């Protein structure tokens, strides 16, 4: 089982064995960089270039990718402001992918439209890593979340994982929920009605044989969960400011509420937080979100190294399930947040399900 040359557009691209391989190599990287305070051991420097293409704001994801590549001894190039790139002149993402894959050995992309990372991967001959595509997925955040949960609680199985906040637009929870279920944990979705988890994600949890329950009562759910994963209300993804105003501040974790949580509870958050976790919670040893953010470096070091083939094949491990083959369609995707709204030159593709068709880029029903 090797990850060399693979793209990471969705976590469904990786099997459980491949995910565990990333987490195990991340532990080795953590040791090598003295992550837990131990001595550093030098790594053989990497003669490769990582491109970071950020069409949306980022602090942790971009800087931890860059830090990861620099710690591996490689180099980085890219942009954090798409206004300085030829996207501003109207260049397509497909052409950008063709060009950047001539300049770098591995590419990280974040974009406001769902399916953008798939387009990059389709047109790049170098590995492409999705650092967040609109409200769809954020697989490297999930790898960081899994690394943190395994370290903090010793397992990924048999847990009850509460996901709270903006479950509708939050891409981190769309990636995390199905994977936690595949590893054997139940999911509790905690949100107001307007921010409910999409049905397609709930279905993936249930298809993995685990429970996906829904509630709007954070206090009651808190007493019962092993992990509470808080999220920010994704203001930039709402159709209007009025829609955002109607739900903002609807989920708040305070020191008083923390008193209801179990001894062994861990609170995670992909960050940035706005007002959903009171600063008074930070001193609680169960608050793991800053440790979680730090873990982004060894995890991304491991991912880069594996996709570049620095760590070879391992015996055993099931292969990733084959991705469903998309088929050509004449139907237009009407989702304005789909990459097909700007890459109109591309062949329209869909996935055919038993009773419906979804756009192969954003997975919204056609």
Q: Which chain residues interact with ligand NCD by CB under 6 A? A: 60-61, 132, 138, 141, 171-172, 232, 270-271
* 98 part of the active site: no
Instruction: Decide whether 293 or 349 has the Cβ nearer to ligand NCD.
Output: 293
Query: In the complex, what is the shortest distance from the CB of residue 366 to ligand NCD, in angstroms, rounded to a whole number?
Result: 26
Q: Kindly report the number of other CB atoms within 10 A of residue 125's CB atom.
A: 10
The rounded distance, in Å, linking the Cα atoms of 270 and 295 is 11
| 345 among known catalytic residues | no
Our CB check for ligand NCD shows the closer of 273 and 348 to be 273
128-133 sheet: strands from edge to edge: 75-79, 49-54, 106-111, 128-133
Closer by beta carbon to ligand NCD, 138 or else 210? 138
> Interhelix angle for 139-153 vs 171-182, to 10°?
50
Q: Per the residue annotation, which of 6, 118, 126, 138 is the catalytic one?
A: 138
Instruction: Give one DSSP letter per residue of 203-241, joined into a string.
Output: HHHHHTT--EEEES-HHHHHTT-SEEEE----GGGSSSH
Catalytic-residue membership of 237: no
* Residue nearer to ligand NCD on the CB measure, 138 or 160: 138
Q: Is 29 helix (H, G, I), strand (E, B) or coil?
A: helix
Active-site residue flag, 138: yes
* Whole-Å CA distances, 255 to 167, 169, 215, 268, 282: 23, 26, 21, 15, 9
Q: How far is the CB of 65 from ligand NCD (least distance, A)?
A: 11
Closest approach, Cβ 138 to ligand NCD, in A, equals 5
* Residue 249 Cβ vs ligand NCD, minimum distance, rounded to whole Å: 15
Distance, CA of 109 to CA of 93 (rounded, Å): 10
Distance, C-alpha 67 to centroid of its chain: 18
- Of 46 and 132, the one with the shorter C-beta distance to ligand NCD is 132
Residues 132 and 109 sit within 8 Å (Cβ to Cβ): no
The answer to whether the CB of 228 falls within 8 A of the CB of 253 is: yes
**62 part of the active site:** no
Smallest gap from Cβ 223 to ligand NCD, in A, equals 26
The residues that are catalytic are: 60-61, 89, 110, 138
């Amino acid at each position: 089982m090797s990850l060399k040359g693979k793209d990471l557009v969705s976590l469904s691209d990786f099997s459980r064995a491949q995910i565990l391989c990333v987490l195990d190599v991340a532990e080795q990287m953590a040791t090598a960089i003295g992550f837990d305070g131990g001595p550093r051991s030098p790594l053989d420097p990497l003669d490769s270039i990582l491109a970071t293409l950020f069409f949306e704001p980022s602090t942790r994801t971009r800087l931890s990718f860059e830090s990861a590549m620099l710690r591996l001894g490689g180099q980085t190039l890219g942009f954090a402001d798409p206004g300085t790139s030829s996207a501003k002149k109207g260049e397509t993402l497909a052409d950008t992918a063709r060009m950047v894959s001539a300049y770098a050995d591995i590419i990280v992309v974040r974009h406001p439209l769902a399916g953008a990372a798939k387009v990059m991967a389709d047109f790049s001959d170098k590995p492409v890593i999705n650092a967040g595509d609109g409200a769809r997925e954020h697989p490297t955040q999930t790898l960081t979340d899994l690394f943190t949960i395994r370290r903090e609680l010793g397992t990924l199985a048999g847990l009850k994982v509460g996901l709270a906040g903006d479950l509708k637009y939050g891409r981190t929870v769309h990636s995390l929920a199905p994977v936690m279920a595949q590893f054997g944990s139940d999911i509790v979705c905690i949100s107001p009605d307007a921010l409910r988890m999409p049905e397609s994600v709930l279905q993936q949890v249930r298809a993995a044989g685990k429970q996906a329950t829904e509630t709007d009562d954070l206090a009651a759910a808190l007493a019962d969960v092993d992990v509470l994963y808080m999220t920010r209300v994704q203001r930039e993804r709402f159709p209007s400011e009025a829609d955002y105003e109607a739900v903002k501040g609807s989920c708040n974790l305070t020191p008083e509420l923390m008193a209801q949580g179990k001894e062994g509870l861990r609170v995670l958050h992909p960050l940035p937080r706005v007002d959903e976790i009171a600063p008074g919670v930070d001193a609680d040893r169960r608050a793991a979100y800053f440790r979680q953010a730090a873990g982004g470096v060894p995890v991304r070091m491991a991912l880069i190294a594996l996709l570049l083939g620095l760590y070879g094949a391992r015996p055993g491990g099931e292969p990733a399930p084959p991705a469903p083959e998309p088929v050509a369609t004449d139907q237009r995707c009407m989702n304005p947040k789909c990459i097909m709204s700007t890459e109109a030159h591309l062949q329209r593709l869909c996935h055919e399900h038993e009773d419906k068709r979804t756009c192969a880029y954003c997975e919204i029903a056609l």
